[in-house]
Every structure is written in C-alpha cells, then in structure tokens.
A and B are shown apart, each in its own frame.
Chain A
Amino acid sequence: EAGVAQSPRYKIIEKRQSVAFWCNPISGHATLYWYQQILGQGPKLLIQFQNNGVVDDSQLPKDRFSAERLKGVDSTLKIQPAKLEDSAVYLCASSLGLVRPTEAFFGQGTRLTVV
C-alpha cells in the first residue's frame, strides 16, 4: 500500500515570496490533515478535510495560508506571503476516520526555510 506522498521535500524561499506544497493521501482515506511542526514542538493542526470539505481550519492563518482538496483526493497548501516564522516542517496526513479519528498516516513532510 502506497503511503502519503508529499512534495517538495525541501524548500527555501525569501520572506514575502509565495510557496505551495502538494499532498497525495493514501487511497480511500477520506480525512486529510495539514500540520505545521516548528522545531522542538509537536505537530499543530492547520486544516482538516473530510473528502473535499473543510472540517476544521480554526488554526489556519487565513490572511496568508490557504488550502484546497480538489475532488476529495490530492491537496495543496499555499503560503502567500511567507514570513520568517513560517519556517517549519509541513506534514500531510490522512486517515480512514469518518465518524471519529482513527490513526493518521503521515507523509515525510516538506521542510520550509524562509530567509
């Protein structure tokens, strides 16, 4: 079974530039998550999709971050414009859970450095 695929693995950009990350979840997984993990901290949820609908985006900085999940499969997360404090690993995860959370499977993440 293929895992969660993310690209790119690494990205370095200057502040005020824009960047986009892509995620392909495990086939059949209805729920998709984007997490931000700052160095030394645990993953923090940015947005959660169930199929192609947003379930929770309460911690997404909507003035600069946006995400979509077209057709309920792949997802992209965009930052525009980036700030220095956005430097982090961005993790995509997916799970089967429809009624309640089940274990989520994570991709390898995209390490973003904003300089």
Chain B
Amino acid sequence: DQQVKQNSPSLSVQEGRISILNCDYTNSMFDYFLWYKKYPAEGPTFLISISSIKDKNEDGRFTVFLNKSAKHLSLHIVPSQPGDSAVYFCAASDLGGNQFYFGTGTSLTVIP
C-alpha cells in the first residue's frame, strides 16, 4: 500500500527554467514532509522539509508547497541547474509516528 506517490517517474527541464516535482499522499495523519535528492551510487540527501502548519517553505532555489486539502505537495526548483539532475524522493511522517514513508522517486534531468 503506497501511501506516498510520485506519479511522474521522470522529468526533463531546460537549464534556467523551473522544475516542478509533484507528490501525493493518502494518509491524512501525515503532518511532516521532506524532499530528498539522490545521486547515483550515493545515499539520499535531505533537501527541504515542511510541516503541516505551513503551506510554503523556501530555501534558496528550492521551495516546497503543501496543499493539505488536496493531500499534495510539490517541489519547485528555480532556476534549474544541470547539477540538480538527480532522483528526488518525497517522504512523509505523522505526528508521533516513527518512520518516513517514501515515494518511488522522480528522476530529474536538467538539460544544459
């Protein structure tokens, strides 16, 4: 039972343009969300998080938006750079929960 879904396995974007990666979840108890970035042969690295008391969190070129009513979050990367090419995972947990539930990932390719 996949509680966190990333329906786009891949995305290609031109350098300098915006990348938008989407994530949907089914468990309404989830209240903390994270994005991880993964390069080949490396472990995932934490990118940005958001709690359910917010609907937006920014960190430099990365912004995460949360729409609780739609159970949807998105990661915006502006401007996209070739070094952003990686697999991006979203993850979620609930208050008092002990684990993160990961999506299946979206492979982003930024074309120079």
Residues of A within 8 A of B44 (CB): 43, 91, 106
A42, A93, A100, most chain B CB atoms within 10 A: A42
Interface presence of A25 (CB below 8 A): no
| Contacting pair B99 A45 (CB below 8 A) | yes
> How far apart sit A101 and B95, CA to CA, in the bound complex (Å)?
8
What CA separation (Å) do A33 and B36 show in the bound complex?
16
Cβ-defined contact, B43 with A109, below 8 A: yes
Query: Which partner residue on chain B sits nearest A42 by CB separation?
Result: B102
Say whether A48 contacts B98, CB under 8 Å. Answer: yes
Q: How many A-B residue pairs have CB under 8 A?
A: 56
Contact size range, A = 20 to 34
Q: How far is the CB of A97 from chain B (nearest CB, A)?
A: 9
From B51, which residue of chain A is reached at the shortest CB distance?
Answer: A100
Total count of chain B residues near the partner, CB < 8 A: 25
Residue among B89, B97, B99, B104 with max Cβ neighbours from chain A (10 Å)? B99
B65 on interface, CB distance cutoff 8 Å = no
A56 touches B43 (CB 8 A): no
Q: How far is the CA of A103 from the CA of B64 in the complex (A)?
A: 15
Is B59 positioned at the interface, with any CB of A under 8 Å from its CB?
Answer: no
B67 at the interface (CB under 8 A from A): no
Q: Is A104 touching B46 in the complex (CB atoms < 8 A)?
A: yes
Q: Which residues from B are CB-within-8-Å of A40?
A: 104
Q: In the assembled complex, which residues on chain B have CB atoms less than 8 Å from the CB atom of A104?
A: 46, 100
A31-65 interface with B by 8 A CB criterion: 33, 40-45, 48, 55-56
The answer to whether A4 has its CB under 8 Å from any CB of chain B is: yes
Could you list 8 examples of A-B contacts with CB < 8 Å? A33-B99, A41-B105, A42-B104, A45-B100, A56-B98, A106-B36, A106-B45, A107-B43
- Chain A residues with a Cβ under 8 A of chain B: 4, 6, 33, 40-45, 48, 55-56, 91, 93, 100-101, 103-109
